[in-house]
Amino acid sequence: MKPTSLYLPSTFEERGTAAPFTTPMFALSRVRPDERQGLVLLLPSFGGTDGAYVVPWSAVQEIGGMSTHDRALHEEILAVKATSPDMMRAAAFKVAMTGLAGPAAAEAAKKAVDEDRKKIEETHILLILALLTSSGMTTQELMQTNPETDEWRVKTKAMLEKAAKEYGIEIDQIYHRIGELSQTLAPVGLAISRQEARLRQLLQGLGEFRQSISEWGEADLSEMADFAIYAAAVADLTLDMAGTMFRKLDTGVQDIGLVVREWPTQGPLAKHLASRLSWLLDGWQFIIELWRSLADQPVDEQRDGVGNLMRVLPLIPRNESADDDEDAKKRQELFQRKRLQAHIDWRTGKYDVELVSRIEQIKAKAVA
């Protein structure tokens, strides 16, 4: 076992999935299953120290003045047991679409749901084309046919039947496997088809965040400078890990024919890698948007912002990184040396309509 920070989680699952609450105190708290409580909320420390409070799910609404959006999301998370980033995304969209986080967040959620659906359909088509190409068939004719027509479906079916025979499996199995794979790969994007997707695009935002906050940290004169540089280092490590995971996944699904043919081993592997990427990048979009929202703000608000994002920084769990524990050590040293002064307004349990409104705007942008 590696030497570790006392407070660093072991796995992504232990870190929990980020819940997009709009009440400042709960913003980006994390949810994870718990044997005794069913679910628990990991509430970032607001005492200026490292670590998080573990709150039983039933007690969450009692500890602070939650917005109605958060009360509804709290109930929805319990109802669907949203303990993974993908499930949380679906639960968050369902609640946001009610308008409880404002019309902009509702509109953004509707668009995102629509985009997600379109991306799955697009990935489905790309996977079929890749599979046929992998089986040595020419897809030129298919490419010139509208995928929403019966003509496309008939032609595709005929070609897939041919492929199924070659693989020694039923055509239904091919449809099923392609269907599952398109759900898995839609958020990631299919590199062989140069398809951009949500998580791959997030890396660009994360790279910009790393650069921007690192420059800010180098220029700032306050004690928040060290925290900013630390946040940049965590972003850097996340980018490194994401790069490795993307390469592995892209290599793994390079030959779609092989993945479909050897589904019992290749299918779970692709799902596992895509899921790890989803967990790794969980919570970053909000942080990137939070930092962007501070770009034109006075320096004291930017310093508060660094304090706020430090509380919810998605740290890499101990067992998920192949690196040594430099990251954990740095964090421990940092918190031992300096007490993090997060803005008092973000720590109070009192409902503050202005702060909630700011978080709602960030939330709307984070899914846009």
Partner 1 sequence: MSGLDKKGGIDNTVAAVLDLERPLEFISEEKFREVAKLLEAVHEQPGVQQILDHVRPRLVKLRPGRKPNLQRLFYMPLEDLLVGETASPDNGMLPRHLPALVWRYIAQTGDAEALKQLDVALKRTGTGDHEAHRKIAKRLWPLASAVLVDLVASPGHAKGMLGREVGLIEELNETAALLQAADAIDALKQELPPPPIRSLSDEQMGSIRRTIVDNAKGDADLVYVMALIVMVRMAKRADFLESIMGMTLGLSGADKPLVYARLSRLVMTEVTDRARQLSATDKGNLVGLADNARNLVTGLVAAEKALKNDPRARHQLSEMRKTAEKTVTQVVDNAKGTVVAAISVGPDAPLESLIETENSILALRKCQTFAGHIGLDKAVTGALGGIVGEVRDKANKLFASIGHKGGHQPDRAEVEQEMYWAVRMTELAGNPDDADKIRRQGMKALA
Applying CB under 8 A, the residues found at the interface with partner 1 are: 65-68, 71-72, 98-100, 102-104, 107, 215-216, 218-222, 298-300, 351, 353-354, 357
- C-beta closer to partner 1: residue 151 or 300: 300
Tell me the C-alpha distance between 179 and 127, whole Å. 9
- C-beta closer to partner 1: residue 145 or 222: 222
For the bound state, the minimum distance from the C-beta of residue 20 to partner 1, rounded and expressed in Å, comes to 17
Chain centre distance of CA 163: 35
Type of residue found at 167: Y
- C-beta closer to partner 1: residue 68 or 201: 68
Tell me the C-alpha distance between 131 and 176, whole Å. 13
Q: Provide DSSP, 207-222.
A: HHHHHHHHHHHHH--S
Tell me the C-alpha distance between 256 and 178, whole Å. 9
Interacting residues of 255 by C-beta distance below 8 A, sequence separation 6+: 134
- C-beta closer to partner 1: residue 94 or 248: 94
For the bound state, the minimum distance from the C-beta of residue 242 to partner 1, rounded and expressed in Å, comes to 24
For the bound state, the minimum distance from the C-beta of residue 214 to partner 1, rounded and expressed in Å, comes to 12
For the bound state, the minimum distance from the C-beta of residue 366 to partner 1, rounded and expressed in Å, comes to 18
For the bound state, the minimum distance from the C-beta of residue 303 to partner 1, rounded and expressed in Å, comes to 9
Element (H, E) at 265: helix 263-280
Interacting residues of 368 by C-beta distance below 8 A, sequence separation 6+: 108, 111, 112
- C-beta closer to partner 1: residue 114 or 215: 215
- C-beta closer to partner 1: residue 229 or 315: 229
- C-beta closer to partner 1: residue 264 or 298: 298
* Under 8 Å between Cβ of 210 and 239: yes
Q: 138-160 as b/e, with b when 16 or more CB fall inside 10 Å?
A: ebeebeeeebeeeebeeebeebb
For the bound state, the minimum distance from the C-beta of residue 276 to partner 1, rounded and expressed in Å, comes to 33
For the bound state, the minimum distance from the C-beta of residue 87 to partner 1, rounded and expressed in Å, comes to 22
Other C-beta atoms within 10 Å of 316: how many?
21
